[in-house]
Amino acid sequence: MSDVTPIAAATTEESTQVVAEIVRETVRPGWRTRLAEQPALVLAGVLVVLYAVTVWKDDSLLTVNGVRSILLLACPLAVFAASQTLCMLTGGVDLSVAMTANFAAYVAANQSGRGPWIALAMALGVGVGVGAVNGLAVGVFKVNPLIMTIGMASVLLGVVTVGLRGWLAGSTDVLDVVRTVGSGTLIGPLPTNLLVWTGISLVLVLGLRSSGLGRVIYAVGDNQIACRLAGVRVWQVLLAVYVLSGLLAAIGGLLFSGTTGSVGVDQTNSYLLPSVAATVIGGTSILGGTGGYTGTILGALILTVLNRLLLRLEVSEAFRQILYGLIVLALAWSYVRLTGQKVREGGG
């Protein structure tokens, strides 16, 4: 409270008044402070408004099937965004999620002859393997995460494209399990993939809030040097984060291939940038240390509903992309304004 020091010489009565004023201000924060402390509420509000606007253009969203389709489509996006959330909390980013997902889905379909469990294990193994390489490079060799994962995406694209004419050639039957989970209906408007999504959400939200690893992830994102000095093995945390990210990417890829019933070299690539956008809209800072998965869930839902609205607006594909970009920018901008997590200019 250095603000108080200049008037320290004044009379006791005056300083008491000043202190009382400060206390009053802290006790009754303005609406902005209150909103900034509850970003999830703001996001939920945005989602509700957006949903209402979309219903006005497309009343099928009020039906059981409409709700189901939103949840079904939001699920893979939210899972990819879970990868991004973990990485961004440590100040990184994972641009290899889409290729990891494609690769994992391809492996699962290609190895489906060996039985579902082995095929699934191999697909998840792909995710863990890719994540481990990313994690070691970022954690131990200090490679910039953006470059590391761009490079990894390039490597995977080469491996899958070449593999298609070699060891990955042959049958590509999407596993029955994957198909059921990816496109089935649980009950009413709830698709089966919601089970996986709920599981992941619970683990991430609770894990980030109260597990040791979760707290250390925030700490590493906030100040890596302080973490190292405090005895945290930063490289192990980063390794764990990127392995989890790879694993989540593989799960997302399987869910997507279950929904579409197909596999392809680049089938989830259009999810890559939206997954980053969903995380940013959800309030996780790309600079690390702030945010969480709750916001990301809402971010993924907002983007899915937004996509639906733009599809219904009967504008050309061109305007849809322009609007999408502008809205993502506007949401990110207002978020930064609201919460004050602004990148500081200069020494200011």
Partner 1 sequence: MTTVEPTVPGSYDGFATSLPTPTSRWSRLARRQGWTAGVAALLAVLLVWRVSQLPKFGAFEIRTITAGTMTLALLAMAQGVIVISGGIDLSVGSMMVFGNCLSALWMPDRGLAGCLLVAVAVIAITAALATLIGAIITASGVPDIIVTLAASFVLAGMALWVLDAPRSGVSADFQRLVAGRLDNPWPSVLWIGGVLLVLWLPLRRSRLGLAIYALGSDRKAAFLSGVQIAWTRVLAYTAGGVFSGCAGVALTASTGGGGPLASTGTTATLNSVAAVVLGGVALTGGIGGLVGPVLAALCLTLIPAIMLGLGWDPSNAETARGVIIILVVAVAGLLQLRRTRPS
Return residues touching partner 1 (CB under 8 A): 93, 137, 141-144, 146-148, 150-159, 161-162, 165, 266, 269, 273, 276-277, 280, 285-287, 316-326, 328-329, 332-333, 336-337, 342-348
What's the Cα-to-Cα distance from 3 to each of 8, 15, 34, 180, rounded to whole Å?
A: 10, 12, 22, 62
Angle between helices 64-89 and 272-281 (to 10 degrees): 80
Specify the residue, 193 or 224, whose C-beta has the smaller distance to partner 1.
224
Q: Determine the Cα–Cα distance for residues 71 and 96; give it in Å rounded to an integer.
A: 24
DSSP string, 34-46: HHHH-HHHHHHHH
Rounded least distance, CB 18 to partner 1, Å:
32
By C-beta, is 60 or 161 nearer to partner 1?
161
- Min dist CB 345 to partner 1, Å, is 6
Are the CB atoms for 289 and 89 separated by under 8 Å? yes
CB of residue 116 to partner 1, shortest distance in Å: 30
For the record, the structure tokens of 29 come out as 């924060």
CA distance 56 to 48: 12
Measure the CA–CA gap between 301 and 50, rounded to whole angstroms.
10
The nearer residue to partner 1, 97 or 174, going by C-beta atoms, is: 97
DSSP lists the bridge partners of residue 303 as none
Output 114 or 337, the one with its CB closest to partner 1. 337
* CA–CA gap between residue 311 and residue 320 (Å, rounded): 7
Q: How far is the CB of 319 from partner 1 (least distance, A)?
A: 7
Closest CB to partner 1 among residues 2, 316: 316
Q: Compare residues 109 and 130 and give the one whose CB is closer to partner 1.
A: 130
Q: Please, what is the minimum distance in Å from the beta carbon of residue 323 to partner 1?
A: 8
Name which of 81 and 178 has its Cβ closer to partner 1. 81
Token pair of 78, please? 């939210």
Residue 340 is given by DSSP the state -
> Cβ 199 to partner 1, closest distance in Å?
29
Return the bridge partners of 187, or none: 190
